[in-house]
Structures are given as structure tokens and as C-alpha cells.
């Protein structure tokens, strides 16, 4: 009975994590479309939340499998590792959201999961090869997003080069609805799978599942939780992403969101748990840099960068502390 009570608590905490994920990452989904005034905040949040949830019916579970069984050896950990890992990730995410920092919620979960696992069983609990791609993409994802955003910006600039500015603005206000939907779809599939991976790992560890296959109820629950968090909206983070990095117009917003969607679709299919925050930040910087380097507020990006660097060790330290208090 204790095992199933603990399992139920892990499921609740994982869904709370996904809610916090959507809360912080709402900025990623709607910052550009709000800052360009294509939609006001509440309709923008509803639009993003719908596509975050709809992603449950479009993509597979490759990222969930990487997160759940590709980072930590399940035979060396227990349910308390999963529980305290989630606690570390949730606390770190909540604090950074309150501070207005667009962190990687994915990396907070990786840090929490890894920190609790190491506290339980030492570094032997980590699957070293499984951490290589996610850590590499801490650095690669922003640059891929930046590069794709530059390509989209230059390509669309060439397509509309002979059109009057008023017509271009009108077109891209409509097209930005499509690009925002595409980005939210990519965000939903990538980030909802993080919680799926943890819940499925807990089911396996508790003996409720014999093989690592993500149940459909887990898929739907995680997408519903992240959509709910998106509707809640982390307003301080939205302001940072939409207004403080660079000034965006509908043309730039379309380019940033399209580049972000392309990057996230590719990494989701490859099963790489990248940071959607890192990706869209790189895309926004790329759009600003396409105009001129001084269009980017580099002081703001440095503050964001420090939050990125500290996320994995910070969440790991919190999770380790929680495990020392609660673990067995």
C-alpha cells in the first residue's frame, strides 16, 4: 500500500511539474505574438495552450524514453529518487519564474533527477552516454535556433522585398498565428514528454509496468497539465522574452516562431530533450541580429545565460537535499 501511495504522489508531483513547466514556458509560446500585438495575452495563452495539448495526438514518445530510462539506471534508484528529483525541479522552476528568468525547465528536471540519483547510489547511477546529447544541446540549441532564424529572416525578406510595408505587416500578422501554433505544437511535444518519462519510470520502478512503454493516460495527463500551466502564464518571464531581448514586429515574430518550431520538431523526432527556452531565445536573438547586432540587448541575454548555466547544478543540489531528508 505504501508503494502505491508513493507512486500516486509521484504522479501528482510530475503533473505539478508539467504545470510549472507550462507556467514558465508560456513566455516561449506567446512572448512574440503578444509583443507584436497580434493577440492580446489571454487569447494568446489560450491559443498556445490548445496546441500544447493537441501535440499529444501528433508526436511519439522518443523524448520521454530518453528522459525516463536514458539518463539514470532504474535498477539502482527507487521511487524516492523520482519524488525528490521532481521536488528539486519544481522549486527551482518556481523561484526562477518568480524572478522573471526564462530558464530551461527541462534541465531543471534533468538536474533534479540526476542529483537525487547520485545522492542515492553515487555516480554509477548515471548513464553517462545518455547525458552527452542533452548537455551538448544546452549550447547547440540556441545556436541552431539562431542560425535557422537568420535563414528564415533572410528568405522571407527576399520573398517580400518588392511589397509595401503595410501589406507585409498585414500578411505576417496572419501568418504569425500559424507560426505561433507550430511553435506551441513543438513545445508541447518536447516538454510534456519530460513528465511522461518520469511517471513511466516510476511505474516501472514500482512494478506497475513490466516494460517501458508510456501509457496513453500518462500522455494525455501530461499534455493537459502543461496546457493548464500555459494558461496560468508566467507574466514576468513573458515580459523578459517578449520585450527585453530585442524589439519584434510581426515579420520578426513569424521568423522566430517558425525557426523555433522547425528546431523542436527535429529534436523531438530524434528523441533529444532540448530546452525550448534555449531554442526560442536563440531564435529571437537571431531575428534581432539579422537587423543589426546592436538591436539585441546583450546585457539581458547574459543574465539569462547565467540562469541557464546554474539550472542543472541548482536543481541537483535542491533534489540532493530533499533526498537526504526524505530518501531511503
Q: Mind listing the pLDDT tens digit for each residue in 28-82?
A: 667 667 767 777 778 888 888 899 899 888 878 888 888 888 899 988 888 899 9
- Quick one: how far is CA 304 from the chain centroid? 15
pLDDT digit string (tens) for 268-307?
A: 888 877 777 778 778 877 877 776 655 455 555 666 677 7
pLDDT attached to residue 233: 66
Note the pLDDT of residue 328. 65
Rounded CA separation 14/20 (Å): 10
Section 138-162 average pLDDT: 85
Residues 6+ apart with CB under 8 A from 27: 102, 234, 237, 238, 240, 241, 242
CA 39 to centroid of chain Cα atoms? 22
Q: Nearest Cα to 55, choosing from 233, 227, 203, 245?
A: 227
Phi-psi region of 37 (alpha: psi -120 to 50; beta: other; left: phi over 0): left
Torsion of CA 282, 27, 178, 137, to 10 degrees: 30
pLDDT digits (tens, 9 = 90+) for 224-246: 999 998 887 655 555 555 444 55
Note the pTM of the prediction, 2 decimals.
Answer: 0.80
Q: CB–CB of 77/125 below 8 Å? A: yes
CA 29 to CA 221: how far, in whole Å?
20
Rounded Cα–Cα distance for residues 234 and 254 (Å): 22
Q: What's the CA gap between 63 and 200, in Å, rounded?
A: 12
Cell for 299? Answer: 546585457
19-33, 46-60, 164-178, 181-195: least confident range: 19-33
| pLDDT of res. 242 | 47
Report the alpha-carbon distance of residue 108 to residue 89 in Å, rounded: 5
Residue 1 pLDDT class (50, 70, 90 cuts): very low
Amino acid at each position: 500500500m505504501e508503494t502505491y501511495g508513493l507512486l500516486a504522489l509521484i504522479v501528482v508531483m510530475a503533473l505539478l511539474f508539467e504545470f510549472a513547466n507550462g507556467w514558465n514556458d508560456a513566455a516561449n509560446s506567446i512572448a512574440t505574438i503578444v509583443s507584436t500585438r497580434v493577440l492580446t495575452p489571454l487569447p494568446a495563452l489560450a491559443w498556445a495552450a490548445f496546441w500544447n495539448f493537441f501535440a499529444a495526438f501528433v508526436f511519439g514518445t522518443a523524448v520521454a524514453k530518453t528522459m525516463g530510462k536514458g539518463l539514470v539506471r532504474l535498477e539502482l534508484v527507487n521511487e524516492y529518487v523520482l519524488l525528490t528529483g521532481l521536488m528539486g525541479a519544481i522549486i527551482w522552476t518556481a523561484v526562477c519564474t518568480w524572478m522573471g528568468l526564462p530558464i530551461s525547465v527541462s534541465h531543471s528536471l534533468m538536474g533534479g533527477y540526476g542529483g537525487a540519483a547520485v545522492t542515492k547510489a553515487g555516480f554509477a547511477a548515471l548513464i553517462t552516454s545518455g547525458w552527452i546529447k542533452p548537455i551538448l544541446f544546452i549550447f547547440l540549441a540556441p545556436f541552431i535556433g539562431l542560425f535557422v532564424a537568420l535563414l528564415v529572416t533572410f528568405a522571407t525578406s527576399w520573398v517580400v522585398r518588392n511589397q509595401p510595408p503595410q501589406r507585409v505587416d498585414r500578411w505576417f500578422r496572419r501568418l504569425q498565428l500559424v507560426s505561433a501554433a507550430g511553435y506551441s505544437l513543438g513545445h508541447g511535444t518536447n516538454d510534456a514528454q519530460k513528465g511522461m518519462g518520469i511517471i513511466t519510470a516510476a511505474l516501472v520502478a514500482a512494478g506497475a509496468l513490466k516494460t517501458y512503454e508510456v501509457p496513453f493516460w500518462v500522455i494525455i495527463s501530461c499534455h493537459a497539465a502543461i496546457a493548464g500551466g500555459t494558461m496560468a502564464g508566467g507574466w514576468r518571464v513573458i515580459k523578459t522574452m517578449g520585450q527585453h531581448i530585442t524589439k519584434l514586429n510581426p515579420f520578426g515574430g513569424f521568423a522566430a516562431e517558425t525557426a523555433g518550431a522547425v528546431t523542436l520538431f527535429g529534436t523531438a523526432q530524434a528523441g533529444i530533450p532540448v530546452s525550448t527556452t534555449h531554442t526560442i531565445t536563440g531564435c529571437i536573438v537571431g531575428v534581432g541580429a539579422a537587423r543589426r547586432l546592436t538591436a539585441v540587448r546583450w546585457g539581458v541575454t547574459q543574465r539569462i545565460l547565467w540562469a541557464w548555466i546554474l539550472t542543472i547544478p541548482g536543481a541537483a543540489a535542491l533534489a540532493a537535499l530533499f533526498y537526504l531528508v526524505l530518501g531511503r
